Amino acid sequence: MNYEKFRTKYRNILVTGGAGFIGGALIERLLKFTTSKIYNLDYMGYASDLSRINLLRESSLRHILLKTDLSNKNSVYDAIKESSPDLILHLAAESHVDRSIDNPDIFINSNIIGTYNLLEAAKDFWRNIPDLKKQNFKFHHVSTDEVFGSLPDNGKFNESTPYDPRSPYSASKAASDHLVKAWNYTYNLPIILTNCSNNYGPYQFPEKLIPLIISKLIARESIPIYGDGNNIRDWLYVEDHVDGILLCCNEGIPGQNYCIGGYGESTNNDIVSTICDIFDQKSNIKKSSRKLISYVKDRPGHDRRYSINSNFISKQLNWHPNYSLEKGLELTVDWYLNNQEWCHKVVKRANYKGERLGTN
């Protein structure tokens, strides 16, 4: 990754959702490896947390939190004015499928209306900036492979897979992708769109599968697997995803979409068993924690399989993941074992007790 090139092109960066899991990893990287000023637009919702950013010395100098709700158009215009961005990295989204089943409203407002407001404010800003800044400017929208629907036993998603979202969450992300593409086709706004597979790693709020299981293992509570556990996800270590996003900003073609997967396909049964084994080995537990696994009622509309073909980004931008699933899982289990206080803090703040969500 050519950080030098990045530094000269992008001095002011507006990151939306920078207090989230992927946004936080991205801001950490930007603070460590660039000299850019980072404006972090985040409404500080239930899963938002700034611990990892606040740990960095650079944060007091170059990280500015703009506590803003994307569904409030005027505030979004104000945030763009204040940050005068050379680059917008749009990660803010409600992202938990189970919560979208219980309460779709929030997803429509945040993911669709929020993206629309940001696009409008970005377009009006971009149209009125000097030519050089205009040429470099990019709006990078971070999306998900869930917009493509569910795969049978074979085949993979790629850049030309048709959209077929099935949950309120994925439908709201698909709508936001369409808006982003429309603002490129109609207004020439220089966008980049990335669709990633399931991210995991440190600092992920413990409602998603991997951190939830680790939290349950630590608490010695029953581990819920939905349905028969043969659903497949393609796991991507968050730092590899950050590499992909930054490469796209540096070298990506405006108007292009890129798929980023982790070469980490696994059934839920396999990944849960592997995590149990890693956990037992690290915690010196003799009787297998697999006995904590219990099969519970399936998620409504549960997508069977996701898998990404990352050939395009690999060939075009020379992106390759650095973390195998085994390595990434080990680092992740280690991190959660060593950061139990962080977990207690965030779940308490969100009033989340590890209960089942999305059975509505």
- As annotated, the active-site residues are 145-146, 169
Nearer to ligand DAU, 34 or 170 (CB): 170
User: What are the residues facing 12 on neighbouring strands?
Assistant: 37
The answer to whether residues 79 and 13 touch, using CB atoms and an 8 Å cutoff, is no
* Residue 303 neighbours by CB under 8 Å, 6+ apart: 146, 149, 150, 166, 167, 170, 231
Q: What are phi and psi of 351, to 5 degrees?
A: 55, 40
Which residue is it, tokens 């993911």? 111
Shortest CB 226 distance to ligand DAU, Å:
4
In the complex, the smallest distance separating the C-beta of residue 296 from ligand DAU, rounded to whole angstroms, is 7
Give the list of residues 6+ apart from residue 239 with CB closer than 8 angstroms, or none.
25, 29, 201, 322, 323
Can you list the positions of beta strands (E) in 22-95? 37-42, 63-67, 87-90
> Which residues sit at the interface with ligand DAU, rule CB under 6 A?
95-97, 144-146, 197-198, 208-209, 212, 224-226, 231, 233, 268, 299, 306
Closest approach, Cβ 212 to ligand DAU, in A, equals: 5
Q: How many beta carbons lie within 10 A of that of residue 313, not counting itself? A: 24
Q: How far is the CB of 196 from ligand DAU (least distance, A)?
A: 6
Is 153 buried (19+), middle (13-18) or exposed (0-12) by CB count in 10 A? exposed
Picking from 199, 210, 333, 327, the residue whose alpha carbon sits closest to that of residue 262 is 199
Shorter beta-carbon distance to ligand DAU: residue 79 or 180? 180
Q: Which two tokens stand for residue 9?
A: 């092109």
Type and span of the H or E element at 7:
helix 3-9
Q: Decide whether 98 or 120 has the Cβ nearer to ligand DAU.
A: 98
The residue (of 22 and 31) whose beta carbon lies closer to ligand DAU is 22
- Closer to ligand DAU by CB, 34 or 231: give it: 231
Quote the least distance from Cβ 41 to ligand DAU, whole Å.
Answer: 19
